[in-house]
Structure 1
């Protein structure tokens, strides 16, 4: 169904589609990072720990501030609409659950437990944004006297200024990116091919695939690599990776069909 079906104004229809796209990018990046952790957990404890720390940093940087900004801007507006109070309260409660799931990942633990917590976070977040996309955003876009475009501008202004909730603070985090290691077999401490995390996008919903790859690549430290498995030769994706991070990743084909294409993406 088109966003124009829901929105009372063309600008709000555009804003609705943009908000859904932003949710898809966050969900995709989260899925990519979680997939990397799941594959690393059974192969390389040190790599899994780096990916876990990067996943927490991503949540602190993207997901939790986004949730706080929604509570400060979108949810109060939605709460004023008829019959929406219980929906908004349930979504606020889900934000508390998201925070708890991130907190469970915050303290290093065994890799199996971290992988399970990460997978639970991914599933919960995907279900949460599906409710926002299917219920809250269309309600705001269709409501007379409300401008979804203006609400989203206010929300992202708060995010840009680092104070999404008008007072709630989030920890400053920075992902660890080691500067050494060759990524394979030379004895310098880099991972060998058998330990390289793998992302099989054939199991990722099509709308999230490119964002999942970007999120997975963000979890690859300099001097290391990941293996990408795709259902076809991903030439458009490779062009997007180069545009996004010029010269950062070297590409080596390991398999060219017919059932799958396998590529090693090495972070210089």
Structure 2
């Protein structure tokens, strides 16, 4: 959220925070998946594309459908929310179409371009939801946002924080992230990079957690920060004890670069 929202009840205030936090986690997951796809765009990248498409089908689309079942009917019944909901429904259609483009792409570069378009579209969509839709419902005396979201796992998250976003179908082949894979190709050296300096401070850690949740065992992620991320590292260790090996690649004075490797 970029502005203070005066909710109609403490429960609604907590609901706004929970949904915004889940959005940040999803943004982080998508950022990692797209970065991985871009990272491998110079060669064969079927695994990275399959992982992105699987995440979209299993997490992003169900999230959109849950919004359409719970939040959108309430908002569309309000005069100030009707056009907003129409626009967001159109964005859902566009998101599904771009996911289809990623899946149908005939080249790694084409898949990467569509993946980046999906990330940009999702960012615009989340801005509308966080900054307009949620405050509208949270401040409405006619609706309880907390009640609308009751039991909506797709909107509130609630995963265990370990390996979220991976299914057996979307798990990358052995050696993903810098070594040979079962498909007979070799991924480029290094790991996808997430520049956290451009992420708003209020959602920065949640976004990073989402990206780390999407890192498969044996794979990695490099983050670039403008300060020593010691508090983040402490939170990661408490959240997923022992899951990541952590190495400083650059330690100031201007930039800090940290590599996370998910242990198999």
TM-score normalised by the chain length of structure 1: 0.79
SS in 1 for 2:152: helix
Take 1:51 and 1:219, find their aligned partners in 2: how far apart are those partners? 11
Which residue does 1:141 correspond to in 2?
138
Which residue does 2:201 correspond to in 1?
206
Take 1:198 and 1:210, find their aligned partners in 2: how far apart are those partners? 15
How many residues are paired up? 249
After superposition, the Cα gap between the structure-2 partners of 1:212 and 1:34, relative to the gap in structure 1 and judged at 3 Å, is farther
RMSD: 3.0
Take 1:149 and 1:83, find their aligned partners in 2: how far apart are those partners? 20
Alpha carbons 1:38, 1:115 under 8 Å: kept? yes
After superposition, the Cα gap between the structure-2 partners of 1:231 and 1:173, relative to the gap in structure 1 and judged at 3 Å, is same
Counterpart check, 1:128 vs 2:128: no
Take 2:141 and 2:176, find their aligned partners in 1: how far apart are those partners? 58
Alpha carbons 1:34, 1:122 under 8 Å: kept? yes
Q: Give 1:263's match in structure 2, choosing from 237, 254, 258.
A: 258
SS in 2 for 1:93: helix
Bigger shift: residues 7-16 or 219-228: 219-228
After superposition, the Cα gap between the structure-2 partners of 1:238 and 1:23, relative to the gap in structure 1 and judged at 3 Å, is same
SS in 2 for 1:25: helix
In terms of fraction of residues, the more helix-rich structure is: 1
Counterpart check, 1:70 vs 2:72: no
* Shift, 1:241, TM fit: 2.6
Counterpart check, 1:19 vs 2:19: yes
Which residue does 2:249 correspond to in 1?
254
Structure 1 unaligned segments of length 5 or more: list them: 161-171
Bigger shift: residues 60-69 or 104-113: 104-113
Alpha carbons 1:27, 1:126 under 8 Å: kept? yes
Q: Give 1:232's match in structure 2, choosing from 227, 230, 245.
A: 227
